[in-house]
Structure formats: C-alpha cells, structure tokens
Structure 1
C-alpha cells in the first residue's frame, strides 16, 4: 500500500467511537460495512466464460471441418472434370467401334460369313430377351413390393404408433415377407456371382488368350536361324550363299544381344507378371485411373495419388508409387521389346528379299558365264560388288542400330532426369513445409520461455512487495496498539473523574430536591391513562392528510444514487468487469481519482502525517 492510499484506508479514530471500531473489527464479515461474496453470481460468470470458450472451440472445429470439406469438394470437382473428359472419349470410342462393327456386318451380310453374323444377331436377340425376362422376374416385383410397402406404411402409420393388434400382426407378416424376398435375392445374387466367375475363367483360359492375346504381348514371333526358303534357294556360288546365310545368324545374334541387354536394364519389369504382383481387378483399376491424368496436367501427382487412394483404399502410398514405377518400367520395356522384335522381323525380311535378289542375280550371272566363258572375270567382279553391297548394307544397318540404341538411351536418360526432377520438387516442397513447422515450433517455444521468465520476475516482485507491506503493517499495528493503550488509560482516568463529578452533582441535586420536593396525592388510575403528548399526537395524526408516497421507514444514511455518483465507485466497477481490479494499474488509477466532494477537515487523520 502506497502513501497515497493511506488517507482512504485510515478511518476516523475518535475517542468516542473506540467501541464502534472494536465491534467492527470483531464482527468481521458480519458487519454492515462489508459485503458477502455472491458465489451464485460468480458461478454464473464462470459458467458464462466456460460456455463462451466451448462455443468458440465449437466454432473453430466447425471452421476446420468446413475447410476440409471445401478442400475435399475441390478435389472431387477436379476429378469430376477429368472423368467427364474420359467419359466423352470412351463414349466416342464406343460409338466409333459400334459403327465399325455395324458397317462390317452390313458389308458381309451376304458373303461367306453371313451365317455367322446371323447367329450373332440371333444370340444378341436371345440375350436381350433373357435380360427382359430376368428383369420382369427379379427387379420389377421388388419395385412393386416397395411401392406397396410405402402405401401400406402411409395408411397404417397411425395404427402402428397406437399399437393396434391387427396392424401389428400385419406388420409381422410384412417383415416375414421381406425376409423371404431378401433370402431369394441373396440366392439369385450368389448364383449370378458364380456365373460371373465361370465366364471370367473361360475368358482367361489359354484358348481365349491365344485367340486374343494381351495388348502388350502382341509382338511378332521370330523364328531364329536361317530360313528354309534361303537354304533351298539355288546359288551358283557356294561361298556367296554361305556368307549371305551367315548374315541371318549374325543378325539374330545382334538382336538377341539387344534383347538380353534390354532385359538386364529392366529387371524391375521382369520381376513380376503382367499385373505387377497385384490382383487383376486392382491392376485394371490402376490403369483406368492412370490413363485419365495426362503428364501436362497441373498438380497431376497429388490428384493421381488421391484418386488411386479413393479407388484402392487398402493400398498404401508407398505401394501405389512402387506399382507406378513398375508399370512405367514394364510399359517402356514392352514397347522397346516390341520395337526391337518388329525391327528384327523387318530386317530379316529385308535380308531374305535381298538374298533372293542376289541369288537370282548370281544365277543369271552364272548362266551368262556358262554361255560366255570370256565374261567370267566380269562375273567375279559383279559378285564382289554384290558382296560389297551386302557388307555396306550390313555396315549401314549396324550404324542405324547404334543410332537407334543411342536415341533409346537418350530417351531413357531424359525420362529418368524428368522423374528425378519431379522427385526433387516433391522433396523440396516437403523440406519447405518441415522448415516452416520447425520455425513455428521454435517461435512458440521462445514465446513460452519469455512468458515463463516474465511470470517469474513478476512473482519475485510481488513477493518482495508483499514482504515490504507485511513489515510496514507490523510497524503500524505496533504503533496503533501503543496509541490504543494510551487512549484506554486516558479514558479510564476520564471515567473515574466523571463518576466523581456525577456523585458530587447528585449529592447537590438531592439536597436541592429536598428543599423543593412536593408530596403528591395517590392516584392509581393515572397509570392507565394516556399522556398529554400521546393525546396531542393522536389529534395531529387524525387531522393530518394521508401521504401515500411517504416511505415506510425514514432513511438517515446515503442513498444508492449518492454512492454510485462517486467516480471511484464507477471506475472500480469497470475495472472489476475487465478483471483488472487486483492489478497495479488499477491501484495507481484509484489512487489518483478524487472524490466528488472533498472530505471534511475533521475526517482527515494526522496520525501518520510524517
């Protein structure tokens, strides 16, 4: 407590009011000068604060859910746009293929395959008839039953709620009917699933795969070695024939080496089968979703993984990425392998045609040599020239193969670099997010440490102030005790003096009464009669007008308006509402505020003036 607060704290200590001060100190909270704490009001305030906090937390949770829902809706909207494009493309492809099939059937309706197409048309009509009959037997009765149940429930809703016996009995019959229908539908569904599995096994059989192989496996079959046509072909020069036939072996060795090198580079693609160690339906879903997201699409990676997680919830992100890497490698491997096989078949065919041409030319030259012996040397030059052509052609082919291998290596490196850049971008994004989180945590920890240090310093300052105040209070109590003891002694002396004066005064008065005392007559009825003052009062009350607005009791204290007009009361109330009434700021403000009227000079204490 500062010196400025001492004047408002110290009350008026007059000797005549010592008993009142003692009584007030002993009464404590029971005194009329103190107010009891309104715990009900405090509980209401704390409940209101808790309700406000709970309301704010619910609002925050609602905002978080709204943000998540908006983010989810945005992703779904992007997926929907891509799916609409894919749907239009597939629908266009379906219509195009259907138009080609119809055109092909119209063109061949009168040909050799007319009977086959007629059987196809008959089988199609039979399937449509079976579907319509299946729909009438299964789907339409269920819809009719549903409509009847809705109508029955609408009509008997009130009876069921009231618990009529007939309605309850009918309700049990309806429930038994629905259970029987559910069992029948389950049996039909199980039967259809069995037929579906049988048809899938039939379609995946070896005979069907031989007729309709997988797209990635559609590559030409190469029969290695020297073709029988080239061996059976006649050539007058055996050395020329042997060298040309050896070119087939050399070509096969070159392409076999390329295939082995391709297999060695793509060990990941060769590790698994066509589905990459996944089930066939899961791999089909992966391919269908993967083809819908082109490489030039913005934020393609996140959209693709989100879509795959929706369609394949049992797969983790690592499994999806691993399967994607395998699929890209497997696809690239099959494309390159198919290209190599096509080049191999083309080169073998070209070499075979070239060999036939060379053999024919050699045979023509040999016939001319038989006819014209003089031209034999010229025939040899022609053979050498042809052999040089073959060697030159082989050199050209080797150069072309090297260039193709170089281009393939460049494409593979570009693909690897692009994938590496994409992974690096993803890692940079993650590191940036992680750095932001770490900086936020460090800032939060720093603020927490600063608050704790500030609270510790404030606690030490408060403890020091409380110790100084306690020491000051002890000195003040000691001084007051001494003052009270002195006043008690003074009061005792004054009481003794007053008693002595009263005794002497009473003696003098008694002597005076003896001189003027009158002996009154005995009147017992006088005790039962009204006094003159009472009679005059009754007369005044009867004649006085009745004041309805007069208060029941006379008030000799301060009114509420007089109390609340004090600026100190109003400021203290505002500080209490703001929760600052116990702070040093509130004490400094209240010490500087002056009352509405200055205090009387007799109310000012001069005990602690120095």
Structure 2
C-alpha cells in the first residue's frame, strides 16, 4: 500500500518498533544524532530528478516523432512505387490515344466536293493550334522572361553591392506583382471555362446512354417469335410451351426487379459529386489486390486526397460503391442466366415442335402414299418416253454447240491473256506508288515522334530543375528556423543566468551576518534556566519520558484504524479485499502540501 500512495496510512506495525522509536526519540533529546535538513541539497536532487525525467520525456517524444516519420516515409515510398507503376501505363495509354486520333484524322478523306465537314475539322484544328500558341506567348513567355530577368539580377548582386536606387527595386516588385495578378486572372478565367465546359458536357445527357446500356441487359424477349409464329399441329403442346416461357419470365423478372430496386435506392455516384467519385474510382483502380497491404495504402491515399472527409465517410462510400458494383454484377449474372435458360427452353421447344411436325407428316404420308401410288407410276412411264426422245435430240445439238464453243473459247483465251498483261503492268505501278507513300508516312511519323520526345525531355528537365530549387529553398528555410530557435534558446539561457545573478545578489543582501560567540552558543538559555528552577516541583507529576507522537484518541478517531481493526477481527486483513478497501478510505485531515512529492517514479 505504501508503494501505491506515499500518504497512505501504514497499519502494519509491531510493538518492538514502537519501543525502538521511543528509545531513539528519548536518546535524541540530548544528543546530536539528528542533523538539520539540507534543503539546498534536497532541492538539487529534486532538480536533477526533474531534469532526468524531462530528458527521458524528450527522448520518448523524439522516438515517437522518428517512428511517425519512418512510418510516413514508408507509406510515401509505397505510394511512389504504385504511382511509378501507374504512370508509364497512363503515358502509354495517352500516347496510344493520341496516335489513334492522329491516324483517324489522317485516314479521313472527303466523300466529294460537297463534303465540307472534313475541311471544317482541319480548319478547327489549325485554329486551336494558333490559339494555343497565342495563349502560350501571352501567358507563359512573360513568366519565363521575368524569371530569366530576376535570375540575371540575382547573379549580378552576388558580385556587386546594392548600389541601385530604391525606386528601381520598387519597379521590379511592382512588375512581379503585376505578373502575379495577371496569372491569377488567367487561372480564374481558365477555371470558369472549365466549369462551363463541364456543364455543357453534363447537359448532353450522357448519363442516359450510360444507364441505357445497363437497362438493355434485362430486355429479354418474353416469348420468342419462333414459338408464337410456329405451325404446331398439336395446339395443346403449343399452349404448354407458351406457359413454360411465361413461368420462366415471371421468375426472372421478380429477381431483376428486386435488384433494380436495390440500385435505385442509391445514387450512381453514391452521394458524392462526379469529380470526387471519379477520383475515388481512379485511386481504387491504382491499388490492385496484387499489391501488399493495398487496402491500407488506398485508404491513406484517399485521406490525403479528401482531407475534409473522415475515415468513416470514406469507408461508408467504399461499402456503398462495392454494394452497387455487386448489385450490378448480380443483375448482369441474372440476365445472363435468364438468356441462357431462355435459349435452352427455346431449343427444347423447337426440337419438340419439330418432332411433332415430323410425326404428323409421317402420318399424312402414310395416308397419301397408297392413294397416289398408281398416278405416280403412270406419270413416270410417260416421262420416261419423253426423256428418250429428248436425249436423241440433245445428242445432235450438243455436237453443233461444241464446235461453236471451241472457236469462241480460243478467241476468249487470247483476249484474256492480253488483258491480264495490261492489268499486271498497272498493278506493278500501283504497288510501287504504294510503297513510296508508306515510306514517306513512316519518315513523317518518325520525325514527329522525335520532336515529341525532345519536347517531353525538355519539360522533364525543367521540372527537375524546379524541384531542386524548391528543395534548396525549403532547406534554407529550415536552416533559418533552426538558427532562430537556437538564438531564442541562447537568449532564454542568458535571461535565466541574469535572473539567478539578481537572486543571488538579493540573497546576499538579506543574509544574516552575526559575530562568532562560542560562549553564548554553548551556554544555557534563559528558558532552560527557568525550567530547571521549577523542575523539582513537577518531578512527581512528570512522566518518565516525553513522547512526540499521536494520542490514543487521535489514533482511534482515524477511520482507517477502525476499519483495519474490524478486518483483523474478521480475519480478512491479509486479503486483496482489505487492501482495496484501505486504499479507498481517506484520512480525517488532508496531508500537508509540503509532504507531497512532485517526483514521478
């Protein structure tokens, strides 16, 4: 109990301890065993302990900061790995899309002289190119010129003193501010145009086409036309097949309707705006399941992209999006099952009706075969006689026609050979022209790719240089803040030393200065003499020794003593319950503040 609270009343005592304490107090009255407390030394110990605890706290804080920084750097490294894998894929997709667009525009040819849409598209592309070049000259070129001018001025200032007048520098600052205001106006204008274009695209109602593709999945024909328009010789069989199609459609329509109701309960964007939802989808598509710890990574990236949203909101949006995709997948699967069952039922129905038609046809053939057998035999005899007469006439005509056809075939073969030679010469010339065009086109594409590669490399070098300048600027700012912090710390230490010096001067001013008087120090005091005169009068009433401790009434008035005595009588003073009860009971008087320790162990 004493280890838990230094002010807890100690109830475990023994009689010999009281006797030893009494003897020590009795012998200490006339001896010099107890020396006065050295408060300065105690204060130094307390200060050392406090400083040690502060140092330990600082180490713990530094360790926490280092662990947090390490964790943050690890997460950022993993994000960079994901982006380094995603960036080439996006670049390839962008290059593929641009190449497809260029190839498509190059392959477009006008249908005739009246087809002006192709020329209008080409003119529009040239106008866009000129506008982009004019925008670059009006916005980007002034910034680069101002940057080059400032770099040149800074380079001159490194080798010269500040000899330029103040008005000259004010003009430079005004020019910089003017360029900043101009760039802000341009950015605001571009943002307004972006919002207007976005509203125009939304106004085209593309969402209807997107939703129509999903609705087309459930447009399954209830009863096929092959069953309705079929000529089944047995009406009962046709009615049973139609009823089977009805039951199949009703069963699947209920399932599709329930899934569509679930989709209609939530918005297509799950309650977010289109831009945020698109960024959310793109972030989830980057962190695939093959990446280790992909869920923690994309949740961290989503918290960085949407700092205004809590983790709970992001998780709810993720669950809503997963549920929507799961419902759409279910709807697609149900539709596919419906189509598969519909096709299987249709195939079985067609086979059944075909078998019924064959059986009915066989019955009819059996009835008609015997009736028309005689008519067929007579008809065949007449046809045989006519066929023999025709065969004789055909043999004569074939001989005449064969001679005529042979002469015509020889003339035709000769004409075809001459025509084939002319066609081959024309085809060779066309092939040569085609290869020349292909070669020129390959050279143009190679030159364009080289120019694009050079432009991208220049942009990347410029971005790298800017990043280096930004990093250097941040390092300089960090060094400046550290120097300011050190200066403040030195100023605080100097003030603390001045304060200690002033306190020491005050202590010296109020210190007690007394002359050394050994005789007076060792002599008896007046009070002691007055007590010694009356000592014989009170020898009988005086106790054997004086006790500087609590009286029995004071001890019994403490509730902790009474509770401990009751627990002891009950035999529970060594149990955990007794320790808990005694730790909760408070003393009748609160302890003095000077007995409390501020040290934390």
TM-score, scaled to structure 1: 0.46
Give the structure, 1 or 2, with the largest relative contact order (CA under 8 Å, sep 6 or more): 2
**Which structure has the bigger radius of gyration?**
1
